[in-house]
Amino acid sequence: MKNLLLIVLLLLVFTAKAQNNSINLIPIPVEVVKQSGSFLLKNGQNISFNKAEARTVAEMLAQKLSTPTGFLIKAQEGKSGAIQLNLSEVANEKLGKEGYTFSSTSSGVVITANQPAGLFYGMQTLLQLLPKEIESKAVTKANWSIVAAKITDYPRFGWRGVMLDVSRHFFTKEEVKKYIDQIARLKYNTFHWHLTDDNGWRIEIKSLPKLTQVGAWRVERAGHFGERAEPKPNESTPYGGFYTHEDIKEIVKFAQDRNVTIVPEIDVPGHSMAALAAYPELSCTKEKVYVNPGTQFADWFGNGTFKMKVENTLNPSDEKVYEFLDKVFTEVAMLFPNPYIHVGGDECYKGYWAADAGCQALMKKMNIRHVEDLQGYFMNRVEGILKAKGKKLLGWDEILEGGVSTTATVMNWRGIKIGAEAAHLGYQVVTTPSAFTYIDYIQGDPTIEPPIYSSLRTKKSYSFEPVPDGIDAKHILGGQANLWSEQTPTFRHVEYMTYPRAWALSEVYWSPKEAKNWNNFTTRMETHFDRADVAEINYSRATYDAIIKTTNKDGKMMLEMETEIAGIDIFYTIDDTMPDKFSAKYTSPVALPDGGITLRVITYRNGKPIGHLITLKRADLERRR
């Protein structure tokens, strides 16, 4: 009897702790109660909205439903539609600005929220409850049914973001809009737009036209970023691009319709080589530099310190720099209505400052003992410029060096500890430590993935906890995923690097902490693989691959393997044959023989190959000890 009752409960109730596999939502809602029956979407049914503010969401949903079904579905004001989008007359405080309730029965669907943002997120839930064919770009056939359920949902954090670097590689206006649309459907609400760096200036500044005439373009180069050849004298600069004011206004409006705030980043005082290519007089040396095409322009010493071979920093002692920045931020502030402007502040090399007479004179005048502290002076000047334009300063955690007021907001990337320290000092923090959120890192075995300097598995991203131990959660605004584009030259590869890790992080930032369950997430993730296939969105399948490492035991090299997803079998050979399901099956650590062996590994599920073939020679295995 007890077992029977348990089965009944599992079939009826889908909550943060007891989740029904037929409802494969990402991110997982606060509470879902599955009920009997379903709603069938049919031709001629309409979407109604009770207030004018809900019209945009209703029309967006009507378009999304009409395209793959071929049905004539209209959005109309009122409460008579089979699908109803209702803004509450009396606010439900539990739902906040972005929460919603969702009710589907055999007679229809009702989504209720305090604000249009909540309706938008309820719409995403509705779409995920429909079959995968809803993602089709053309009319297709499917059973257009939605399971009967009651859902209550609202986000854990107010800041749920994804950063895209468009400096290293430029992505078109339409590609940026496509990316924003994709992340909005995962209930992300912030698009951090990394617009300037050493490798390209991507935003039109009408008062400083050389920023895009010169700074937006560089020589064409192939090969691994950081290993490319220097530009030749008078070589043409065909590679690049930038966004005009009109482009940006269009993208901002597109994002607003999807409840996404765009936070622009102008990276200063370091990472400014593209700006200095246009205006070299803003540097300490005044020497002409180029927009960097991916050369090795710095020596890194392995402990986080480095030395620049080419100057890429603005001169903090030159008043013309602040006049320049005032012009830049005037136009940026005009284009982006959100309260924040991200000013970078990371990886600023101080060597040229230390050798500059003007910087030394400024240090003496300001009684600054260490050249590193000039960054604090610079950032405080920049914050003053932003405040005059009604904007808040946001920067990477290096802005703490040399001191910046607690009215600034810190985005920690160098580790959880730095974010905790910033929060303890009273700063508002957007927490995005690289070890969990840098989605440009390798996500599978380094021998088969394009090379990057570090790795990050989807399971580790999913394990991230944004609120450090002992820190008051009120100081943590939320977090985001960051995609740097040194090795991401195409939009298809942007998608490949983003998913499924952005699916995992969407749940970290939206869902209740206690709702997280890796094994359950992977089940839902796999249904989203299928949906992405229909939508023609690229993604990585590295979660199916074996994770291979070696250890030493009694003088022997031991082979240890595992998988991120449960229920996958690992087969291997060391005799120069190709592995399949009849090869040795890995169950426990294996002592490898001496000699020049080659390990070959493949994964299977239910008797079918599912992962990549991984091949490692003995030298590769030795390096993994």
Q: Catalytic amino acids?
A: 197, 271, 347
Side-chain-side CA neighbours of residue 500 (13 Å)? 31
Looking at the DSSP bridge assignments, the partners of residue 86 are 112
Q: Are 599 and 615 in contact, with CB atoms under 8 Å apart?
A: yes
- The one-letter code for the residue type at 366 is M
3-state secondary structure of 277: helix
Cis upstream peptide for 293 (omega within 30°): no
CA distance 466 to 210: 41
Question: What residues form DSSP beta bridges with 218?
Answer: 239
DSSP single-letter state for residue 35: E
DSSP string, 507-540: HHHHS-GGG--HHHHHHHHHHHHHHHHHHT----
Phi, psi values for residue 577, rounded to 5°: -120, 160
Which two structure tokens, joined as six digits, stand for 456? Answer: 């990050």
- CA distances 455 to 192, 452, 548, Å, are 22, 7, 14
Phi then psi dihedrals of residue 620, to 5 deg: -65, -40
Q: Residue 389: what residue type?
A: K
Helix, strand, coil tally for the chain in percent (to 5): 35, 25, 45
Neighbours of 414 (CB within 10 A): 15
Task: Provide the pairing of β-strand 569-573 with 584-585.
Answer: antiparallel
Distance CA 97, CA 323 (A): 39
196: nearest Cα among 351, 332, 340, 394: 332
Q: What is the SS3 assignment for 591?
A: strand
Helices (H) and strands (E) in the chain, counts: 18, 30
Cα gap 200→191, rounded to integer Å? 19
